[in-house]
Structure 1
Amino acid sequence: MVKEELKKIGIKYVVVELGMVEILEDITKEQRSILKQNLMKSGLEVLDNKKSILIEKIKNVITDMVHYKDELLKVNYSDYISEKLGYDYTYLANTFSEVKGITIQQFIIMHKIERVKELLIYDDLNLTEISYKMHYSSVAHLSGQFKKVTGLTPTFYKQLKNKRKSNLEDL
């Protein structure tokens, strides 16, 4: 779809990968505007600002790391993110905080808790297994962080969701 839009507007490109387009030459303001409008209709957006692009890359690495990597990381998160993006972690952390208003660590915790919620509801894992899978040092650490973010214990959250599920089935 992105390739089609680029061709329609007459923009020559080298590579179109998920989330990235490498363009051969400078494009006019009009071409950029048309591309932006056409992509927005499909739910996509054009990021011009280098900081915005870097923030999106950081968010994508974190999302992939938290939601799709099942094996334990052999390095800490900061080294992993830095290595994946090829930037010094301090630079990444400062840029992220400046643009998003939260730290990378807070963003990781939010995503980890979202993943824990999914695992509590849809998987057959117990809290100990979830704690291990999500790289927590202990169930107590996971539970404490979960409660701090959601205001609920993991057990209460699961009971609440199960109760809602059964109420829906009764309708």
Structure 2
Amino acid sequence: MVCPRCIMTVESVLNSLNIPFTRVSLGEVEVPAKPTEAERERIERGLQKVGFELIETRVNKIIEDIKQALIEYLYLGMDAQNTKLSTFITKKNPYDYSYLSDLFSSIEGRTIEQFFILQRIEKVKELLVYDQLSLTEISYQTGFSSVHHLSSQFKKVTGLTPSHFRKIGAAKRKSLDNI
């Protein structure tokens, strides 16, 4: 789950299945009692219908926690620049960064930094499609040090300049949770 709409969707699924819960937050659901195997299967099927998956293993939970930390960091924009990405991740996940980095790479097939760059570029695409901010404002909001840095990263990932992408629009976007 990567947004408030995701939380509402999961709450709706749980309510429709009559599964009691105490809290739903990004990436987590708190239930008052351990679900039975039948309830777990119903939850899993219900979540799959709306494009989510049930994550139960410790490793998968750590990977999801890293992704959530990356999304939080991204939404901080330039405000996050006083904190290194690795420091931010280890504050959110109580493990050594090298362990988290190796684990993430082995499961995802790309580094944390590569994944983060893809997240940033998708956020840039979203802001370009909305066409309400200048490239300078977009670069600030997404944590790039300059428009030039944003443009070079954007072109490296997409093969297009931000200006050209703005012209062709939403057809080239992916949702952040599908990266």
Ranges in structure 1 where 5+ consecutive residues have no aligned partner = 8-12, 163-171
For residue 154 of structure 1, report the CA deviation from its aligned partner. 1.2
Within a 5 Å distance, the mapping from 1:5-20 to structure 2 comes to 5-7=18-20, 15-18=22-25, 19-20=27-28
Residue 133 to residue 34, structure 1, CA distance change in 2 (3 Å)? closer
Among 25, 40, 60, which residue is 1:32 paired with? Answer: 40
Among 92, 107, 110, which residue is 1:99 paired with? Answer: 107
Distance 1:34 1:118 in 2: 34
1:57 corresponds to which residue?
Answer: 65
Distance 1:140 1:159 in 2: 19
Is the Cα–Cα contact under 8 Å of residues 66 and 89 in structure 2 kept in the other structure?
yes
Among 72, 79, 102, which residue is 1:72 paired with? Answer: 79
Is the Cα–Cα contact under 8 Å of residues 110 and 149 in structure 1 kept in the other structure?
yes
Asked if residue 126 in structure 1 is aligned to residue 134 in structure 2, the reply is yes
Structure of larger gyration radius: 1
Q: Normalised by the size of structure 1, how large is the TM-score?
A: 0.75
Q: What secondary structure does 2:79 align onto?
A: coil
- Identity between Structure 1 and Structure 2 (%): 40
- By relative contact order (CA 8 Å, sep 6+), the higher-ranking structure is 2
Residue 110 to residue 25, structure 1, CA distance change in 2 (3 Å)? same
Q: Figure out how many residues of one structure are paired with residues of the other and give that number.
A: 155
Ranges in structure 2 where 5+ consecutive residues have no aligned partner = 1-10, 171-179
Q: RMSD between aligned alpha carbons?
A: 2.6
Q: What secondary structure does 2:103 align onto?
A: helix
Among 78, 81, 84, which residue is 2:89 paired with? Answer: 81
Is the Cα–Cα contact under 8 Å of residues 5 and 38 in structure 1 kept in the other structure?
no
